[in-house]
Homo-oligomer: A and B are copies of this chain.
Amino acid sequence: MTSQVRAPRAQPVPRAKPAGRGRPSKATGRDLKETILDAAEGLFARHGFHGVTIRQVAAEAGVDTALIHYYFGAKRELFDSVFLRRAEILNTARSVSMDAYEKNHPGTMTVEGVIEAFIEPLLRISQDGGQGWKSYFALVAQVNNTPAWGGETMARFFDPVVHRLVETLKAVRPDAEYRDLYWSYQFLTGSMMLALSETGRIDSLSNGECHSSDLGAVRARLFAYCAAGFEAVIARAPQG
């Protein structure tokens, strides 16, 4: 059993994909990488990093497990690739949104306006971007709440745009303390990520009156909620 000579391949099957489950056309090369990332994204979002196996990703993508290692290396590198792919798009969209807001409201910026410019791109992308983006936000929400390594991962990808938000708010409310702004942001991100991850909890909680997937309902409330929260924290008698 130890040093057995490898037998030659039994059947040199002429490269027939095992009749993929309805996936469009046989992807290859760069497209195949995207297919793998899509499959990994959906599974990681639903079950977390440790809840997904390379084999599941391979089966979902319709490829061999070795191919995943060939393209992405170790499992954790695959996860990072999934996380990175959309993070850049997200950061760009947010930068553009905040640029536009600052440009269009010279001297008339409000806390709610800044916050809307910060959050709205995510809602729009989630509504218009397809299932992939919804999975991605669920993934980020999980990482955001992971004590072991969530903090570092979030910081690595998203700190710059958050610092920009805080600085812009500081410009709007020069007398606000940074501590208050950072804590308020912490509250904001908890609400925002939970709302974007569409866990389905509010559906049953509200007896069907609200739906996780109703991002219009989120849009109609989240900006006002967070802005009022910021204002209240800033205005509150300083206590440390």
A: residues with CB less than 8 A from B are 45-51, 138, 141-142, 144-148, 150-152, 154-155, 159, 162-163, 178-180, 182-195, 197-206, 209-210, 216-218, 220-222, 224-233, 236, 239-240
A239 & B210 in contact (Cβ 8 Å cutoff): no
Report the bound CA distance from A204 to B186 in whole Å.
12
Nearest chain B CB to A165's CB is how many angstroms away?
11
Q: A192-B190, A206-B178 are in contact. Are A199 and B138 (CB under 8 A)?
A: no
Report the bound CA distance from A1 to B141 in whole Å.
49
- Out of B155, B190, B231, name the residue touching A191 (CB < 8 Å): B190
- Out of B178, B203, B216, name the residue touching A209 (CB < 8 Å): B178
What are the residues of chain B within 8 A of A163 when measuring CB–CB?
205
What are the residues of chain B within 8 A of A221 when measuring CB–CB?
180, 183-184, 187, 233, 236
Q: A145-B141, A145-B145 are in contact. Are A187 and B222 (CB under 8 A)?
A: yes
Report the bound CA distance from A197 to B200 in whole Å.
21
State the oligomeric state as a number of copies: 2
What are the residues of chain B within 8 A of A184 when measuring CB–CB?
221, 225
A151 & B201 in contact (Cβ 8 Å cutoff): yes
What are the residues of chain B within 8 A of A224 when measuring CB–CB?
229, 232-233, 236
Nearest chain B CB to A152's CB is how many angstroms away?
8
Q: A138-B147, A155-B205, A162-B205 are in contact. Are A187 and B195 (CB under 8 A)?
A: yes
Report the bound CA distance from A190 to B191 in whole Å.
4
Nearest chain B CB to A96's CB is how many angstroms away?
22
A-B contact pairs, 18 of them (CB 8 A): A46-B147, A144-B199, A146-B199, A147-B197, A150-B199, A151-B201, A155-B205, A182-B202, A184-B225, A185-B205, A187-B195, A189-B194, A190-B190, A190-B191, A190-B195, A217-B240, A225-B230, A225-B232
Report the bound CA distance from A233 to B222 in whole Å.
8
What are the residues of chain B within 8 A of A220 when measuring CB–CB?
236, 239-240
